[in-house]
């Protein structure tokens, strides 16, 4: 096997070294360099870019991103749990219900985000229906604010929460719930004392799977948040394009990367083994 | 005094077939009562109807003189020991036992948890998680978890099935002993007739959703009401429509003295079983009879002509 | 019906109705935005008021040369990058199944959780750095390299999941019957892995075809993809032409997924 294994792994290692590790090393180096006069980077080495992240202006964006990502994750958890419970308890059409959750995931993320742009804009369906029925006189500005970003993120990542929750619920021994009822637990008590603690692995997995991409989101805040609702992802993109401050953009990227790595470590530590 | 548990014309259908076909049963307080029958006879369904996991299509469940139909499981004073034990894997042994006490809002739970674990001799393992316990220990935690609630009836669904054979035999004695000490009514579901005979104060033999006979172990074994009950509780030789247990069937070379009934037969084969010898003989009518004799009396060759005989009082008669 | 299943149904009867209503609402939330999007792609009006059935937005899409160019670029990128990443990812998953390598699988997972924007700017930084010595510039090949780069991990994960259901004794049996390792892989493992590989390739294809964030950073002037065109239009506000092209994307990919599901069942 050893020779075969070598040839099988070679392309993957080439990929890892040249297209994953090397770019990160370069970004790491850039983050410690000084901004060049005409963009790009130059010596000397400095930690200034990292210090700038703590600048109130940029620190606020980081905190905002964490707050939005956390809210989106919490919303996903609350919305996904009953749905996962419903699917795991259905008998005849379980596969259909599951596919109905996965299906939007297979269609373009860009299209799904655009769909909300289409629904929420001033002349969008919500405003047209509301003004048409006379509920409101002037259209509401539903787009280009934090709420729109939150809706977009929840819509985009809900399946990532439903699937791990479903996986843990599906494996749960139904006699445990009977035992809880038998010992006097009402449905809500059984939910919080038995179902939720036993779904911990799925909750952790879903939380990481939703929180990490939400934290680094670029497309959703850009399209649905407009210029106003800036998140870390937009900040990075801006530093590498318009602002041409590569060291600062790199420093934020490395920070994001560290947060993602911590989340992965958490996932490794808590998620059900069979999901790895 | 009310019976602990009374079932009246209990009926439950599953798509296509009746699982429990109108059974009635009255179980007095404080004994160990068994529901015995082959798998699929409806005994587990009966247990689940009593526990409230399922509702009957018709019929009534009375607990200590109270009609409990329609009440959810958490509002019935019965408790189940599941075949898989269904211990909560995220809780320690102690917390599993405490679970029901807390749901009922009972104060001073620690003392009762401790007492219940001592009852099953597991006080030292209170802080262990189910995964850290052996099969036998898990079963005792399941027992303690139910007993601590002092239910009117304790329902046990094949509780010994998951144990290895040696431990199973030991647990029979311990379960019976435990029931004596706590005085709670045990309703025990099993498909193992030896288990039911050795442990029960009374047995209800079930078959195809109905109860064929209720009686003490001696009654159902020695005077079974139907052929199927006789057959399910042990091996039977059928001779001229009369049933005979192998251990009361005798074999000898000479005709027995008067008072006994006998038939001429030919030995087909003998099997050494350790504690006895089993002899298969074919009667002149073509019927086979099995006799279990002591090792000293078992020296027969295949083809040998013998007499098969028995004591008339050992005959089992059926309509 | 088994007793435990029956019990679940019974328990579900009480809380089940509430759950059912909730599930209906949740599915509406998941699907109605896309359905609305599709319906209004056939609207004669530019506004979200139904004025009658029309194909004018589809005509607009098909007669737009920029759109056609971008679609062609996207198809080329998606097919080439899917082919490469499927092969590399499958071989890696198989080798890791034979013997674990914490370093490699750790890198795989890390690349999966890396935010898209970080992947994009780091690849951009790499390419720009390499261009100091090579007289090249961003173009179609940088886009393809980037797409291969983020697809491999997805392929490896999906194929690994399939491998976990495989009995290692099958290959041992093949070798016992005289097959070399390579022949055993080819004749025994690869055929039973096929459904997983197809699923992985489809995933890579959809992700590649859909990607905007990374592509926009590493694309050159001659390598504008369809998502980049859609995105540029969407940033200027909603436009029924986007509805039309979105509908085409959803329908075509929906059909591909459905057909592959059918093929897997038979």
Distance between CA B161 and CA B195 in Å, rounded?
10
Distance between CA A49 and CA A30 in Å, rounded?
10
Nearest CA in chain C to A82: C19
Integer CA distances (angstroms), B125 to B92, B93, B168, in order: 9, 7, 21
- Does A143 lie at the interface with C, CB-CB under 8 angstroms? no
Say how many CA atoms lie within 13 Å of B152 toward its Cβ: 19
Phi, psi torsion values for C256, nearest 5 degrees: -60, -45
Candidates C118, C255, C257, partner chain A, best to mutate (most A CBs within 10 A): C118
Residue C103 is predicted with a pLDDT of 82
Q: DSSP character for A49?
A: H
Residue C6 is predicted with a pLDDT of 42
Residue A264 is predicted with a pLDDT of 77
Q: DSSP character for A139?
A: P
Region of poorest pLDDT, from A219-233, B60-74, B143-157, C213-227: A219-233
The beta strands (E) that lie in B249-287 are given as: 250-252, 260-272, 277-283
Residue A68 is predicted with a pLDDT of 93
Instruction: Tell me the chain B residues in contact with residue C11 when contact means C-beta distances shorter than 8 Å.
Output: 53
- pLDDT interval class at A275 (50, 70, 90): very low
Nearest CA in chain C to A132: C49
| Sequence-ordered list of residues with C-beta below 8 angstroms from that of C29, at least 6 positions apart, any chain | A79, A155
CATH, range B235-314: 2.40.50.140
Q: DSSP character for A36?
A: P
Answer yes or no: do C115 and C18 share one domain: no
Query: A137 in helix, strand or coil?
Result: coil
- Give me chain B's average pLDDT, please: 89
Is A77 a residue whose pLDDT tops 60?
Answer: yes
Distance between CA C247 and CA B6 in Å, rounded?
65
* Contact between chains at C121 and A236 (C-beta distance less than 8 A): yes
- Does C10 lie at the interface with B, CB-CB under 8 angstroms? yes
C87: number of Cβ within 10 Å: 15
Instruction: Tell me the chain B residues in contact with residue A193 when contact means C-beta distances shorter than 8 Å.
Output: 99
Is C12 a residue whose pLDDT tops 70?
Answer: no
Nearest one of A159, A194, A190, A180 to A84, comparing CA atoms: A159
> Minimal Cα–Cα distance from C41 to chain B, Å?
47
| Sequence-ordered list of residues with C-beta below 8 angstroms from that of C143, at least 6 positions apart, any chain | C77, C215, C218, C219, C220, C223, C225
Query: B28 in helix, strand or coil?
Result: coil
Nearest one of C266, C210, C53, B7 to A107, comparing CA atoms: C210
Chain C contacts in chain A segment 184-223 (CB below 8 A): 187, 208, 212-213, 215-219, 222-223
Virtual torsion, Cα C16, C17, C22, C26, nearest 10 deg: 80
Which position has the token pair 């002349």? A123
> Minimal Cα–Cα distance from A56 to chain C, Å?
22
- Structural domain that includes position C138: 56-265
Residues B40-61 have pLDDT tens digits of: 888 999 999 999 888 899 999 9
* Contact between chains at A185 and B99 (C-beta distance less than 8 A): yes
Answer yes or no: do C232 and C107 share one domain: yes
* Contact between chains at C33 and A115 (C-beta distance less than 8 A): yes
* Contact between chains at A183 and B149 (C-beta distance less than 8 A): yes
**Neighbour subunits, B (≥3 Cβ pairs < 8 A):** A, C
Distance between CA C7 and CA B53 in Å, rounded?
6
Residue C105 within any structural domain of the chain: yes
Residue C52 is predicted with a pLDDT of 80
Distance between CA B243 and CA B264 in Å, rounded?
17
Is C31 a residue whose pLDDT tops 80?
Answer: yes
**Domain parsing of chain B, residue ranges:** 5-228, 235-314
The pTM score is: 0.80
Token pair belonging to C190:
């690869």
Is C7 a residue whose pLDDT tops 70?
Answer: no
Contact A12, C92 (CB under 8 A): yes
- Does B44 lie at the interface with C, CB-CB under 8 angstroms? yes
Distance between CA C30 and CA C28 in Å, rounded?
5
Residue C132 is predicted with a pLDDT of 80
What is the biggest distance separating any 2 CA atoms in chain C, rounded to whole angstroms?
72
Candidates C2, C6, C16, partner chain B, best to mutate (most B CBs within 10 A): C6
Contact A203, A269 (CB under 8 A): no
Residue C108 within any structural domain of the chain: yes
Nearest to C10 among B15, B44, B55 (CB): B55
Is the Cα torsion angle C145, C149, C154, C156 positive or negative in sign?
A: positive
Integer CA distances (angstroms), B248 to B157, B253, B307, in order: 33, 17, 14
- Does C12 lie at the interface with B, CB-CB under 8 angstroms? no
- Does A273 lie at the interface with B, CB-CB under 8 angstroms? no
Residue C51 within any structural domain of the chain: no
> Minimal Cα–Cα distance from C149 to chain A, Å?
6
Residue A271 is predicted with a pLDDT of 56
| Sequence-ordered list of residues with C-beta below 8 angstroms from that of B163, at least 6 positions apart, any chain | B135, B136, B139, B171
Residue C48 within any structural domain of the chain: no
Q: What CATH superfamily is the domain B5-228?
A: P-loop containing nucleotide triphosphate hydrolases (3.40.50.300)
Topology of A55-275 in CATH?
MetI-like fold (1.10.3720)
* Contact between chains at A181 and B74 (C-beta distance less than 8 A): yes
- Residues of chain A above pLDDT 70, percent: 95
Which position has the token pair 């099958």? C170
Residues B269-278 have pLDDT tens digits of: 888 888 888 8
Is C1 a residue whose pLDDT tops 50?
Answer: no
Residues B160-190 have pLDDT tens digits of: 888 888 888 888 999 999 999 999 999 999 9
Distance between CA C192 and CA C159 in Å, rounded?
11
A138: number of Cβ within 10 Å: 8
Residue A82 is predicted with a pLDDT of 92
Integer CA distances (angstroms), B227 to A158, B41, B205, B223, B241, in order: 61, 16, 12, 10, 10
Distance between CA A246 and CA A233 in Å, rounded?
14
- pLDDT interval class at A51 (50, 70, 90): confident
Region of poorest pLDDT, from A48-62, A155-169, B136-150, C199-213: A48-62
- Does C177 lie at the interface with B, CB-CB under 8 angstroms? no
- Distance from the Cα of residue A192 to its chain's centroid: 26
The angle that helices C190-210 and C65-98 make with each other, rounded to 10 degrees, is 140
Contact A229, A144 (CB under 8 A): yes
> Minimal Cα–Cα distance from B53 to chain C, Å?
6
- Is the bond leading into B108 cis (omega within 30 degrees of zero)? no
Which position has the token pair 């029956």? C6
Residue C10 is predicted with a pLDDT of 46
Residue B297 is predicted with a pLDDT of 79
Token pair belonging to C1:
């019906």
**Domain parsing of chain A, residue ranges:** 55-275
Instruction: Tell me the chain C residues in contact with residue A276 when contact means C-beta distances shorter than 8 Å.
Output: 109
The beta strands (E) that lie in chain A are given as: 34-35, 41-42
Residue B189 is predicted with a pLDDT of 94
Residue C40 within any structural domain of the chain: no
Distance between CA B143 and CA B117 in Å, rounded?
9
Provide mean pLDDT across the span C219-240: 86
- Does C124 lie at the interface with A, CB-CB under 8 angstroms? yes
Distance between CA A123 and CA B177 in Å, rounded?
79
| Sequence-ordered list of residues with C-beta below 8 angstroms from that of A167, at least 6 positions apart, any chain | A202, A272, A275
Token pair belonging to C102:
């914490």
Nearest CA in chain A to C146: A19
Residue C13 is predicted with a pLDDT of 47
- Does C129 lie at the interface with A, CB-CB under 8 angstroms? yes
- Give me chain C's average pLDDT, please: 83
Residue A2 is predicted with a pLDDT of 64
Contact A26, A41 (CB under 8 A): no
Is B264 a residue whose pLDDT tops 60?
Answer: yes
Provide mean pLDDT across the span C173-198: 80
* Contact between chains at B73 and A200 (C-beta distance less than 8 A): no
Distance between CA B17 and CA B8 in Å, rounded?
20
- Is the bond leading into A44 cis (omega within 30 degrees of zero)? yes
Nearest one of C126, B180, C234 to A26, comparing CA atoms: C126
Higher-confidence position of C100 and A101: A101
Is the Cα torsion angle B217, B222, B226, B230 positive or negative in sign?
A: positive
- Count of domains observed in chain C: 2
Distance between CA A161 and CA A84 in Å, rounded?
9
* Contact between chains at C26 and A263 (C-beta distance less than 8 A): no
- pLDDT interval class at C119 (50, 70, 90): very high
Answer yes or no: do C127 and C176 share one domain: yes
Provide mean pLDDT across the span A101-118: 85
Residue B144 is predicted with a pLDDT of 94
Distance between CA C41 and CA C174 in Å, rounded?
55
C235: number of Cβ within 10 Å: 11
Residues A188-200 have pLDDT tens digits of: 888 888 898 888 8
* Contact between chains at A253 and C117 (C-beta distance less than 8 A): yes
Classify burial at B307, counting beta carbons within 10 Å of its beta carbon; exposed 0-12, middle 13-18, buried 19 or more. middle
Q: DSSP character for C186?
A: I
Query: B18 in helix, strand or coil?
Result: strand
* Contact between chains at B48 and C1 (C-beta distance less than 8 A): no
* Contact between chains at C238 and A117 (C-beta distance less than 8 A): yes
* Contact between chains at C34 and A104 (C-beta distance less than 8 A): yes
- pLDDT interval class at C2 (50, 70, 90): very low
Pairing mode, if any, of strands B185-190 and B32-36? parallel
């Amino acid at each position: 096997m050893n020779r075969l294994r070598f040839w099988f792994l070679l392309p993957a290692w080439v990929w890892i070294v040249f297209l994953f590790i090397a770019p990160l090393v370069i970004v790491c180096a850039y983050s410690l360099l000084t901004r060049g006069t005409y963009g790009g980077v130059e010596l000397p080495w400095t930690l200034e870019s990292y210090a700038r992240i703590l600048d109130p202006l940029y620190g606020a964006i980081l905190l905002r991103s964490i707050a939005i990502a956390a809210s989106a994750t919490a919303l996903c958890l609350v919305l996904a749990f009953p749905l996962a419970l419903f699917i795991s308890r259905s008998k005849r059409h379980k596969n259909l219900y599951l596919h109905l959750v996965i299906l939007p995931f297979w269609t373009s993320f860009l299209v799904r985000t655009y769909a909300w742009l289409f629904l929420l804009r001033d002349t969008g369906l919500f405003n047209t229906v509301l003004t048409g029925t006379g509920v409101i006189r002037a259209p509401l500005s539903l787009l280009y604010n934090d709420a729109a970003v939150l809706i977009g993120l929840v819509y985009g990542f809900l399946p990532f929460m439903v699937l791990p929750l479903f996986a843990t619920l599906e494996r749960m021994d139904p006699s445990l719930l009977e035992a809880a009822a038998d010992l006097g637990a009402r449905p809500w008590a059984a939910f919080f004392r038995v179902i939720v603690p036993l779904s911990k692995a799925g909750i952790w997995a879903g939380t990481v799977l939703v929180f990490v991409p939400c934290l680094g989101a670029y497309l959703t805040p850009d399209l649905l948040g407009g210029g106003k609702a800036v998140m870390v992802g937009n900040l990075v993109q801006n530093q590498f394009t318009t602002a041409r401050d590569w060291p600062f953009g790199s420093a934020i990227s490395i920070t994001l990367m560290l947060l993602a790595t911590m989340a992965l470590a958490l996932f490794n530590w808590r998620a059900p083994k069979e999901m790895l | 005094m009310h019976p602990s548990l009374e079932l009246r014309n209990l009926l439950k259908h599953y798509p296509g077939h009746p699982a429990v076909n109108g059974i009635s049963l009255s179980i007095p307080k404080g004994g160990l009562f068994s529901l015995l029958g082959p798998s699929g006879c409806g005994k587990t369904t009966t247990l689940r109807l009593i526990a409230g996991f399922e509702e009957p299509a018709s019929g009534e469940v009375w607990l200590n003189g109270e009609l409990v139909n329609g009440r959810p499981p958490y509002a019935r004073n019965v408790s189940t020991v599941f075949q898989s034990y269904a211990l909560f894997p995220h809780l320690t042994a102690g917390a599993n036992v405490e679970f029901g006490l807390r749901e009922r809002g009972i104060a001073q739970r620690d003392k009762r948890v401790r007492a219940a674990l001592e009852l099953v001799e597991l006080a030292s393992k209170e802080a262990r998680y189910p995964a850290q316990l052996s099969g036998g220990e898990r079963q005792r935690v399941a027992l303690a978890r139910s007993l601590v609630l002092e239910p009117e009836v304790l329902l046990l669904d094949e509780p010994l099935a998951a144990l290895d054979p040696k431990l199973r035999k030991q647990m029979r004695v311990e379960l019976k002993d435990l029931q004596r000490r706590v005085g709670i009514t045990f309703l025990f579901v099993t498909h193992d007739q030896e288990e039911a005979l050795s442990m029960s104060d009374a047995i209800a033999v079930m078959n195809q959703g109905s109860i064929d006979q209720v009686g003490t172990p001696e009654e159902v074994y020695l005077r079974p009401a139907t052929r199927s009950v006789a057959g399910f509780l042990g091996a039977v030789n059928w001779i001229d429509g009369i049933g005979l247990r192998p251990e009361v069937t005798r074999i000898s070379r000479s005709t027995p003295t008067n008072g006994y009934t006998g038939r001429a037969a030919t030995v087909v084969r003998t099997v050494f079983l350790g504690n006895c010898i089993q002899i298969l003989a074919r009667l002149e009518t073509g019927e086979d009879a099995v006799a279990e004799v002591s090792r000293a009396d078992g020296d027969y060759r295949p083809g040998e002509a013998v007499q098969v005989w028995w004591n008339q009082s050992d005959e089992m008669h059926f309509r | 019906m088994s007793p435990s299943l029956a019990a679940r149904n019974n328990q579900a009867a009480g809380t089940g109705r509430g759950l059912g209503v909730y599930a209906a609402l949740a599915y509406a939330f998941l699907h109605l935005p896309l359905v609305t999007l599709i319906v209004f792609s056939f609207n004669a009006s530019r506004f979200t008021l139904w004025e009658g059935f029309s194909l004018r937005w589809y005509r607009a899409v098909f007669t737009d040369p920029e759109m056609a160019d971008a679609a062609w670029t996207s198809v080329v990128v998606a097919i080439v990058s899917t082919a490469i990443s499927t092969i590399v990812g499958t071989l890696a998953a198989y080798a890791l199944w034979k013997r674990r390598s914490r370093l490699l699988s750790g890198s795989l997972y890390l690349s999966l959780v890396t935010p898209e924007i970080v992947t994009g700017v780091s690849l951009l930084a790499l390419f720009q750095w390499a261009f100091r010595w090579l007289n090249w510039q961003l173009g179609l090949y940088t886009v393809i390299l980037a797409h291969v780069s983020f697809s491999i991990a997805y392929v490896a994960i999906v194929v690994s999941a399939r491998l976990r259901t495989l009995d290692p004794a099958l290959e041992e049996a093949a070798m016992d019957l005289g097959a070399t390792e390579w022949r055993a892989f080819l004749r025994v493992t690869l055929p039973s892995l096929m459904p997983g590989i197809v699923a992985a390739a489809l995933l890579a294809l959809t992700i590649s075809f859909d990607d905007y964030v990374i592509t926009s950073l590493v694309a050159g002037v001659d390598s504008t993809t369809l998502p980049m065109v859609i995105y540029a239009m969407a940033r200027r506000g909603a436009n029924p032409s986007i509805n039309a092209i979105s509908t085409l994307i959803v329908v075509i990919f929906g059909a591909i997924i459905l057909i592959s599901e059918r093929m897997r069942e038979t």
